[in-house]
Amino acid sequence: MATLACAILAKNVVNHIRACVESCAFADDVVVFDTASDDGTQDAARAAGARVVDTPFINFSQARNVALAHLATDWVLFVDADERVTPELAVEVRRVIQDDAMAGWWIPRYNHIVGHVMKGAGWYPDYQLRLMLRARAHYDEAREVHELAIIDGEAGYLKEHLIHYNYDSWEQFHAKQERYTRYDVRTLLHAGVRAHPRHLITRPSQEFWRRFITWQGYKDGLHGLRLSLIMARYEQKKYWWMLQAQRSRETV
């Protein structure tokens, strides 16, 4: 029988960690890789039945590579602390890992954003490459966020879902989008991409169309419209900040 570990990256997530660990109880090993939590996360994880490993943090890709190196099971399922494995997904995972024809599996997610389960706008089906043969997977540590596993072999698609409790409030949503947007600005500038004033109009328009029409944000009604407009606004911010950075460099 193939063996499976659930790996959970954590820092100060005491409100989530117990339910997350309990949803992973079907695995042979449940390990929380914690980065200096001081809110009781480690105690709550142990009480729920997980092992806890203290992990230094550089970026998310590096942390996932640490987890892959630490574990000894055949397969690894990465689960974020604010995610839950449904019983149906647990059954499907146990079934597919008995066959190593695939080196990894993409898993769809139901995303809960400020009390609404998303049907579109880029948050559904939101496939994540989270289940992988440990010896045939690694992460590119140059990619700080939105990390993606690189696997040696083919990857399939599961039918059952992770449940992701993304954002409880609009303040939390905006704070994270602000961080992501600033990271995108640094990445694009480092890659030599240049912004043009026209991008302040064209890029937000494209982003809104992509979110609301192409990715069917209209299925979420006013919630989808609001999120599509917000994401278009952050796209505009991205190019505004790029223009400001370019001008600063040119005047030095």
Residue 252 — pLDDT band, cuts 50, 70, 90? very low
Rounded to whole angstroms, the Cα distance separating 189 from 200 reads: 16
Asked whether residue 135 carries a pLDDT value surpassing 80, the answer given is yes
Which positions ≥6 away from 200 have C-beta within 8 Å? 236, 239, 240, 243
Q: State the DSSP code for 136.
A: G
- Mean pLDDT (the chain) is 95
Residue 251 — pLDDT band, cuts 50, 70, 90? low
Q: What are the φ/ψ torsions at residue 87 (nearest 5 degrees)?
A: -55, -35
Residue 56 — pLDDT band, cuts 50, 70, 90? confident
pLDDT for 197-234, tens place per residue? 999 999 999 999 999 999 999 999 999 999 999 999 99
Domains, the chain, with CATH or none: 4-166 (3.90.550.10), 169-251 (no CATH)
| Residue with tokens 């059952």, as numbered in its chain | 160
Rounded to whole angstroms, the Cα distance separating 243 from 183 reads: 15
Q: Residue 12 is which amino acid? A: N
Model pTM score: 0.90
Distance of CA 45 to the CA centre of its chain: 20
DSSP sequence for 66-117: HHHHH--SSEEEE--TTEEE-HHHHHHHHHHTT-TTSSEEEE-EEEEETTEE
Asked if residue 97 lies in contact with residue 146, where contact means CB atoms within 8 angstroms, the answer is no
- Tell how strand 137-139 and strand 116-117 pair up: unpaired
Average pLDDT over residues 29-42: 96
Least confident of 16-30, 112-126, 236-250: 236-250
